[in-house]
Amino acid sequence: MTLFWYRSYRRVFLVFFALVLIAGAWYWYYSLYQYSWDEKAKKSFLDSHAQETDFKDAVFEKAVSVSQERQKRHEAGVSLKHDLFRLDIVPEEKNTSR
């Protein structure tokens, strides 16, 4: 039995590969050209697709407002309350001297 396998394993794999290739090609052809949707399934799909792809004003306005807020914060710049390079004034002492 092992001698048969060593002589013909290439042919067995070739036949197996050909069978898988033919099955894949048939499934691809069947799914492209032999689909079968009834009118109810088509209408259901089109309705759900329209709901998912409609422009959502509220979400867009929220994204625009978030973007504008980030732009304002960026333009304002960073303000440091304590100068890290001045070690003679401690931040706690500065607040208590008021």
Q: Where are the beta strands (DSSP E) in 1-98?
A: none
Which amino acid makes up residue 49? H
- For residue 91, how far is the Cα from the chain centroid? 46
Q: What is the pLDDT of residues 66-92, one digit of tens each?
A: 999 999 998 988 776 766 777 676 666
> Per the domain annotation, does 57 fall within a domain?
yes
Same domain, 42 and 31: no
Average pLDDT of the chain to the nearest whole number: 84
> Per the domain annotation, does 94 fall within a domain?
no
- Rounded Cα–Cα distance for residues 57 and 65 (Å): 12
Same domain, 25 and 42: no
pLDDT of res. 51? 79
Contacts of 83 by beta carbon, 8 Å cutoff, 6+ apart: 89
pLDDT of res. 28? 94
Q: What is the pLDDT of residues 39-69, one digit of tens each?
A: 898 899 888 888 777 788 888 999 999 999 9
> Per the domain annotation, does 13 fall within a domain?
yes
Q: What is the pTM of this model?
A: 0.39
Residue 69 tokens read as 């807020």
Same domain, 2 and 24: yes
What separation in angstroms does the CA of 92 have from each of 15, 16, 79, 80, 95? Answer: 83, 79, 18, 15, 5
Per the structure, the complete domain to which residue 72 belongs is given by: 37-77
pLDDT of res. 93? 56
Same domain, 28 and 59: no
> Per the domain annotation, does 54 fall within a domain?
yes
> Per the domain annotation, does 86 fall within a domain?
no
Confidence of residue 23 (pLDDT cuts 50, 70, 90): very high
